[in-house]
Structure formats: C-alpha cells, structure tokens
Amino acid sequence: MDSIVIEGGQRLTGSIRINGAKNAGLLIQCAALLTDQPTTLRHVPKLADTRTMAKLLRHLGCEVEGERTMQIDPRGVAAGPLEATYDLVKTMRASVTVMGPLLARYGRARVSLPGGCAIGARPIDQHLKGLEALGATIDLRHGYVELRADRLRGGSFVFDTVTVGGTQNVMMAATLAKGASRLENVAREPEVEELACVLTKMGARIRGAGTSVIEIEGVDTLHGVDHAIIPDRIEAGTLAVAAALTQGDVLLEDAPVDHMHSVIGKLQEAGVQCTYEPDGLRVVGPDVLRPIDVSTRPYPGFPTDMQAQIMVLAACANGQSLITETIFENRFMHVPELARMGADIHVNGHCAVIRGPARLSGTTVMATDLRASASLVLAGLVAQGRTEIRRVYHLDRGYETIEERLRPLGAKIERRHDAPA
C-alpha cells in the first residue's frame, strides 16, 4: 500500500498549473455515450476516478485510448451490455450518470444502486424521478435500477433538492428526448455549465445552464466533439490553502477564478492575499491567520469539496472558527485525524467549532475519503516533524500525483510503496 510522507514546515513558493477538473471530466466522459461518433477530450486529469470511468466505458463497449488526451469511440455500445455493474458503481458513485445517456440513446440501461458511501447515504431518487418525468419506466430489482423508454419525451421536473449529478443525468437524457423539457431547481455548479457547453457543441439545444432553470429542446441525434476540460476549482482551492498555510507565495496558473469567488472570499477574510493576475491567481499567506465562519452550500456558495481543507486553515487561525456542513451528513471524518495532529475541533451535529491557533505536529494518520485526505496533506505541510498519510488511494482518486505537484513548490513530500494497510 502507498503512503505519503511529509516533513512539515516548508514554505511553498513558485507557480503551478492547475489540472483539468475531475468532476467536469467524468461527466463529459459519460456524455460521449450520447452519440455514436468519436469524442476527443483534452486536459484530462490522470486520476483513479477518470480511469474508473474509462473502465466503465470500455465495459459498455467503447474503445477508450489515451490519458491526458482521451479518445472515446462509442460505436460498440449498441452491442454491449448497457449496464454499470455493482463493482464499478461502488468504486465510484459518478458511474450512475451513465444512466441518462444510455437510456436516451439506446432505450434502456441497467445500473447498480450505489448504496451508502463514507460521507453519507447519498440517494439517487432525484435522478430517477427526473428520468421518470421524461417517460422512463423504472424497476428496482436485485440491487439494480432497470430503466426503459422507447424514446424519451420532453417533460417538466422540479428537483426536490439541488443535486449536481441529478441535474447532469436528467439534462443529458433530455437532449435526445422528443420535444421540450424544463428542469427547475437545478444545480448551478460550473460542472453543469461545462457539461451543457459540451452538449451544445455536440448539437444539443440547451438554455439556462448556470441558472436554476434549464430548458432543453430535444434533438434526434448528437455528434462527436473535441473539447478541452476546464481547470479544477477544487484542486486550485486546495493548493491555495497550501500556500496560505505555509506563509507561501504561489501562482496558481489557469486557476478558474470566476468559479472560486466563495473560496477566495473566505481566504481573504482569513487574511490571505489573493491577487488576480493575467496568468491566474497569486496566493500569499499571512504571518497570522484570522478565524473564519464557513457554511457549505450549493454553488455559488462555499463548496462542500473544500470544507475539509478550509478546516485546516481554521485550525491554524488565531481564534475561534465555525464550520457548518449542510450538503452531506457525515463529512467530518477528517476531524479525529486532525485532532490527533493537535487541532482543537469540537463537532456538534453539522457544526464544527475550531479553536486556534493549533501547533500541529506530525504523526501517522489515515485517509478516509478524497477531500479528507487532502486536508491531512495540508496539515502535514504545516505540522512540525513527519506526517505519514496512509490509504492514499482516496487521494489518488482526485489529485494527480500530489507529491510531484507539491515538491517543485518546496514541499518535502514523497510517496512510499511499502506502508501497511
């Protein structure tokens, strides 16, 4: 098993180019199923999740080649199983978003129910209700969702809750439905807008992505596309916190600043200097960090995917911070590990009270989910002494070789291949 070992206390300086966005890329990989022409994706991040999605596409009958530039040829899907198996869905929940494209393009799909995951129950009821509103018939059998529709028809649907994946799944399905669809209370995340942009390039007719109402006029066919994925706002945010914590001075090249206002706002409140430069975002950490209050919200609010990372900043700030998690019910798993490193954090339900400044000290810690792992890396960067982070396969799902990214900035960080499980 791999582990990451960090010798803390190094100031990070220099510049780093932000990679393509994991979550945007995964959904565009799914969108390639909506056509029978080949699709080319550029700036694909080299991540475990991206590879899992490529594996699923191959299982469905696609030919997938390349990593950074990925070619997806979906011509074999018609003769394939039209099924996402339990093993693939349990490895990565985003696998359920092949449902909409398969149903819309091939009239049926069979997808394993995802079940719970480390950060909570994470149901897909809204995906299913939305697809039903477009005329799908749905059966739940043997742990699988079976969907059918000779041809989806346009419909109206109001989401009960704001869901990114649900919005994307139903939006993709509606692109090939007969007639017009209107989706309300949809997610406004940049990844929804990015997907709509790609679908539009493929020939779809979509209005309103990025607002809370999306209207789609169905078309008969979509064509292949050549598209470069937007930079990852969460990777950029994580690196911004790394610079801030280490009193560093780092230029985040290509950082998608327009998608980062809530994160940049909180960094500035904490006293971090964030400057918009022509090449990206420059982040300079202060001598003393100020405490902050953060509540996670759907976009444009503060992203839940940055909650664990900002908590490390709060732990090192001079005073009391409050962090409230409103999106997922069980997303404080990093707290006990941060506490072992010396952070003073008390969790009460959805709220965490953090009293700083903590003098973090290195030890062996265990990663529990993707963003929790990132918070442990951040803590390791400022901790006194040596931090060993185990179970880094969580980290590798969403951060491309983090050690190779951080080392040129001055971090003392390496990967070991011999850690116990």
Binding site for ligand UD1 (CB under 6 A): 23, 26, 93-94, 122-127, 161, 163-166, 187, 191, 303-305, 327-328
Residue 309 C-beta: closest distance to ligand UD1, Å: 13
Helix H or strand E segment including 160: none
Q: What is the DSSP letter of 74?
A: G
Residue 213 C-beta: closest distance to ligand UD1, Å: 17
168 versus 246: smaller Cβ distance to ligand UD1? 168
Q: What is the DSSP string of 56-68?
A: HHHHHT-EEE-SS
Which residues lie closer than 8 Å to 327 by C-beta, 6 or more apart? 296, 297, 298, 304
Residue 125 C-beta: closest distance to ligand UD1, Å: 5
39 versus 169: smaller Cβ distance to ligand UD1? 169
120 versus 286: smaller Cβ distance to ligand UD1? 120
Long-range contacts, stretch 59-62, CB < 8 angstroms, 24+ apart: 59/83, 59/84, 59/85, 59/88, 60/33, 60/84, 60/98, 60/102, 62/32, 62/33
CA-closest candidate to residue 102, choices 85, 84, 90: 84
17 versus 350: smaller Cβ distance to ligand UD1? 350
Residue 288 C-beta: closest distance to ligand UD1, Å: 31
Start-to-end Cα distance in the chain: 6
Specify burial of residue 186 (Cβ count, 10 A radius: 0-12, 13-18, 19+).
buried
Residue 365 C-beta: closest distance to ligand UD1, Å: 22
Nearest to ligand UD1 by Cβ — which residue?
165
Amino acid identity of residue 218, one-letter, is G
What is the C-alpha separation between 152 and 72, in angstroms, rounded?
Answer: 24
117 classed as catalytic: yes
Point out the catalytic residue in the list 30, 62, 117, 197: 117
- What's the gap between Cα 230 and its chain centre? 13
187 versus 199: smaller Cβ distance to ligand UD1? 187
Residues tagged active-site: 117
